[in-house]
Amino acid sequence: MTRVTALVTGCAGFIGSTLVDHLLEDGHTVIGVDNLRTGNLDNMSLAVKNSRFKFIEKDICKEDWGSRIRAEVDIIYHLAAISSVKLSVENPLLVHRNNVGSTMNVLEMARIKDVRRVLFSSSAAVYGNPTEIPISEDTPVAPLSPYAASKIAAENYMRAYSRTYDLESVVLRYFNIYGPRQAYSEYSGVVSIFINQALAGLPIIVDGDGTQTRSFLHVDDTVRATRLAGDTAAAAGVTMNICGEESVSINRIAEQVVKSVREAKSEIVHGPARVGDVRHSLGRMAKAHEVLGFTPSVSLDAGLAETVEWYRNLLKS
């Protein structure tokens, strides 16, 4: 395997920090950039002990964000973003500036420094309420939230830079990713919210009637797909869904969490539906399978049980 120097934006976040650990484990050199907006230094506790890792605390919306990077970078994994649909509805301008502006700055640095490949973490949110299920990459995009619109704009800049400047771009449309290190707040993912409510002995609050469905993918599978997309020559210029293989209702997630958190028999209650939320989201993963040879390996029940244990230990520490 060729060792590379990889730049990871959003390196202190949930998926970014897991990616950093995997890249370091395989002997690569990693420069990580994060402004710690939602990221957490604890997520990098393993990485910072490694001499092949360098952390730069910086806001990548600032044009000079790359000024401290002297090394030649082979590949950029651009994961930094404000990833909350809810926050984008409350403050669309903030999310636009952060998600689109940062992508422009990353692409500019790639262009100027002659970086070979840039990967971008887009989202299933771009499909809105899809016209077909399962959703393929050819399903029309139809943003329901400013967050989704920011991802489409950033995707388009990726494609434009790729065509104009001969840069290899790869767009990964992540669906619902869950697992250890996902932050817990009212803005975070449903799995981390439900687990933390249950561990605190609080009722689990399902937004809407809970029959809305998603395809969940464990963070380790997500990182494996992302690494394959970074390493596979044929992935250049491709947009791919990265998702779980089954459609799961939010009610089922709530029930499974109650089962896994054995000590607290939380009640499941229903609140108002979220603005900008899509009803159903199940991706077709044929392209990731065909181009990368990727198939998920962590089952939902095993992944949820492991994630519950992780939060349980976190609360004890």
Ligand X SMILES: NC(=O)c1ccc[n+]([C@@H]2O[C@H](COP(=O)([O-])OP(=O)(O)OC[C@H]3O[C@@H](n4cnc5c(N)ncnc54)[C@H](O)[C@@H]3O)[C@@H](O)[C@H]2O)c1
Question: Which chain residues interact with ligand X by CB under 6 A?
Answer: 10, 12-16, 33-39, 59-61, 79-83, 98, 102, 121, 123, 174, 176-177, 183, 189
Give the shortest CB-269-to-ligand X separation in angstroms. 24
Distance in Å, CB of 175 to ligand X, minimum? 7
Distance CA 184, CA 85 (A): 15
Strand duo 176-178 + 216-218: pairing: parallel
Contact in structure between 279 and 250 (CB atoms under 8 Å)? no
Q: d(Cα 215, Cα 244) in Å, to the nearest integer?
A: 5
CB nearer ligand X, residue 47 or residue 80 = 80
Please say which residue, 41 or 302, places its beta carbon nearer to ligand X: 41
Residue 178 annotated in active site:
no
Nearer to ligand X, 59 or 306 (CB): 59
CB of 9 to ligand X, least distance (A): 6
Whether residue 134 is preceded by a cis peptide bond, meaning omega within 30 degrees of 0, is: yes
Q: Hey, which bits of 159-267 come out as E strands?
A: 168-174, 176-178, 204-207, 213-214, 216-218, 239-242, 248-249
| Smallest gap from residue 84 Cβ to ligand X (A) | 8
**Distances 265 to 98, 121, 307 between C-alpha atoms, Å:** 40, 36, 18
Active-site residue identified among 77, 147, 161, 311: 147
In the complex with ligand X, which residue's Cβ is closer, 185 or 201? 185
Whether 51 contacts 92, CB under 8 Å: no
Active site residues: 147
